[in-house]
Chain A
Amino acid sequence: MLELNKDNFDAEVIQAEGTILVDFWGTKCEPCKALIPDVERLAEQYDGKIKIAKLNTTENRRLAMAQKVMGLPTFVIYKNGEKQKEISGAENCTPETIENLIKEFV
């Protein structure tokens, strides 16, 4: 799965055409880490239909904050560089709600 950071975020998300789902996670966020295998499975399952990427906010705090993400886990859909929809918080982000978010945009 694509790893985003301050060097490639602009090219892969903001300047990119099409739809991308970004998984904002952090090294101390246990709920986020528990979701990663599911996100990786979804990335494979929807390969070619939607781009799915993850961003480690512990290493890219300012970048996440510039995207107005200040809580984890957060999943954001961007289309042609514009934020479309997001879900946030451990209770709201489940494999099911993440897949539904993807389905809404493919």
Chain B
Amino acid sequence: MGKIYDVAIIGGGPAGLSAGLYASRSKLSSIIIEKGKWGGQASTTEELENYPGSMEHPTGPKLMERMKAQAEAFGTECVKDEVIGFELSEKIKTIKLTKSEIKAKTIIIATGAQPMLLGAPGEDELRGKGVSYCATCDADFFTELEVVAVGGGDAAVEEAIYLTKFADKVTIVHRRNEFRAAKSLVEKAIANEKIDIIWDSVVEEVYGDGIVEGVKLKNVKTNEITDFKTDGVFVFVGTKPISDIFKDIVKMSDKGYIITDDEMKTSVEGIFAAGDVRVKMLRQVITAAADGSIAAIAAEKYIENNFEH
């Protein structure tokens, strides 16, 4: 029989990596499965200024690289693969990867979230041709050009500020008349000469011949449609959970966020959830990391109570 892990962690973002760190420090055998980039969403922002202690290198990619190295240093295995299914009828759980299987006593779901789309005509066709969801990845292309950043939360305002390092002008389009983002960020944005703000407006259409040329904006108060020429559209209108593969397994909210208790327990014994994928008030690196640590210790308790040594 193959190896049985104490903890199998799905997703290598801050929640998964912290779970791995805490599990391996508790001498549990643990494995993290990541299908894409280590560090998850946090590795796609260079403006990570609110994770305590990340003053010198406030960049997501660097912080996340250190989180991974730290988890591995204590013995967590990190593998690149995608989890595609489960076999959960036995006490030992089976996790199906693309070409192999893993067996584990507990599972921690840390699959995070992905960007929500505008849902506007042209958005899909012009993706990679001016429509972007990752400023760190694509800002370079817009050096000395003009872009629109859509959204009003922390990510939108923070990434708009980042974009001013490249673009000549950044116009934030927000559907309300005030930002949800942290006040310090908002002050920084308003003081930035390269940033303009269009309130009460949504993007109705993105257009361009093979490359973004502009957007049609609709004022939600007057319903007036205006044409706005731009070279790029950066979309930060929130995220949605990556939880489809758990649909018939654990309890979720209407929006697909996994429901847990304070110890990150889901509706299924031995399955925990941590980070952006679960129902919670604040989706940040610090709360994802905290969830991961709690999930790992809760998993340890579950193993002590349910398995013989």
Chain A residues in the interface with B (C-beta under 8 A): 26, 28-34, 37, 57-58, 61, 64-65, 68-74, 86, 88-92, 94, 96
**Is the beta-carbon distance between B137 and A32 smaller than 8 angstroms?**
yes
Q: Which of B39, B133, B140, B143 has the most chain A CB atoms closer than 10 A to its own CB?
A: B140
Chain B residues in the interface with A (C-beta under 8 A): 35-39, 43-44, 46, 61, 80, 82, 98, 114, 127-134, 136-143, 210-212, 232
Q: Which of A32, A89, A92 has the most chain B CB atoms closer than 10 A to its own CB?
A: A89
**Is the beta-carbon distance between A68 and B61 smaller than 8 angstroms?**
no
**Is the beta-carbon distance between A30 and B138 smaller than 8 angstroms?**
no
CA distance A91 to B80 in the complex (A): 16
* Complex partner residue of B36 from A34, A58, A70, A72, CB under 8 angstroms: A34
CA distance A23 to B6 in the complex (A): 38
**Is the beta-carbon distance between A26 and B35 smaller than 8 angstroms?**
no
**Is the beta-carbon distance between B136 and A29 smaller than 8 angstroms?**
yes
Identify 6 residue pairs between A and B in the complex whose beta-carbon atoms are under 8 Å apart, listed by A's number: A31-B137, A64-B141, A70-B132, A70-B232, A72-B137, A88-B128
* Complex partner residue of B136 from A30, A70, A91, CB under 8 angstroms: A30
CA distance A86 to B131 in the complex (A): 15
**Is the beta-carbon distance between B114 and A71 smaller than 8 angstroms?**
no
With a cutoff of 8 Å between Cβ atoms, the chain B residues found around residue A69 in the complex are 128-129
**Is the beta-carbon distance between B140 and A89 smaller than 8 angstroms?**
no
B66 to chain A, nearest CB (A): 14
* Complex partner residue of A70 from B37, B44, B46, B129, CB under 8 angstroms: B129
Select from chain A the residue with minimum beta-carbon distance to B81.
A95
With a cutoff of 8 Å between Cβ atoms, the chain A residues found around residue B138 in the complex are 26, 29, 70-72
B9 to chain A, nearest CB (A): 17
Instruction: A57-B141, A94-B36 given; name 4 further pairs at CB < 8 Å.
Output: A64-B141, A69-B128, A70-B212, A71-B137
CA distance A71 to B231 in the complex (A): 12
**Is the beta-carbon distance between B141 and A34 smaller than 8 angstroms?**
no
With a cutoff of 8 Å between Cβ atoms, the chain A residues found around residue B43 in the complex are 30
With a cutoff of 8 Å between Cβ atoms, the chain B residues found around residue A92 in the complex are 127
With a cutoff of 8 Å between Cβ atoms, the chain A residues found around residue B128 in the complex are 69-72, 74, 86, 88-89
With a cutoff of 8 Å between Cβ atoms, the chain B residues found around residue A70 in the complex are 128-130, 132, 138, 141-142, 211-212, 232
With a cutoff of 8 Å between Cβ atoms, the chain A residues found around residue B39 in the complex are 30
**Is the beta-carbon distance between B140 and A57 smaller than 8 angstroms?**
yes
With a cutoff of 8 Å between Cβ atoms, the chain A residues found around residue B130 in the complex are 70-71
Select from chain A the residue with minimum beta-carbon distance to B130.
A70
B84 to chain A, nearest CB (A): 10
**Is the beta-carbon distance between B136 and A28 smaller than 8 angstroms?**
yes
**Is the beta-carbon distance between A30 and B140 smaller than 8 angstroms?**
no
With a cutoff of 8 Å between Cβ atoms, the chain A residues found around residue B36 in the complex are 31, 34, 90, 94
With a cutoff of 8 Å between Cβ atoms, the chain B residues found around residue A74 in the complex are 128
With a cutoff of 8 Å between Cβ atoms, the chain B residues found around residue A58 in the complex are 140
B210 to chain A, nearest CB (A): 5
**Is the beta-carbon distance between A91 and B114 smaller than 8 angstroms?**
yes
* Complex partner residue of A26 from B46, B98, B129, B140, CB under 8 angstroms: B140
**Is the beta-carbon distance between A71 and B141 smaller than 8 angstroms?**
yes
* Complex partner residue of A28 from B127, B132, B137, CB under 8 angstroms: B137
**Is the beta-carbon distance between A88 and B127 smaller than 8 angstroms?**
yes
With a cutoff of 8 Å between Cβ atoms, the chain B residues found around residue A61 in the complex are 140-141, 143
Select from chain A the residue with minimum beta-carbon distance to B114.
A91
**Is the beta-carbon distance between B141 and A30 smaller than 8 angstroms?**
no
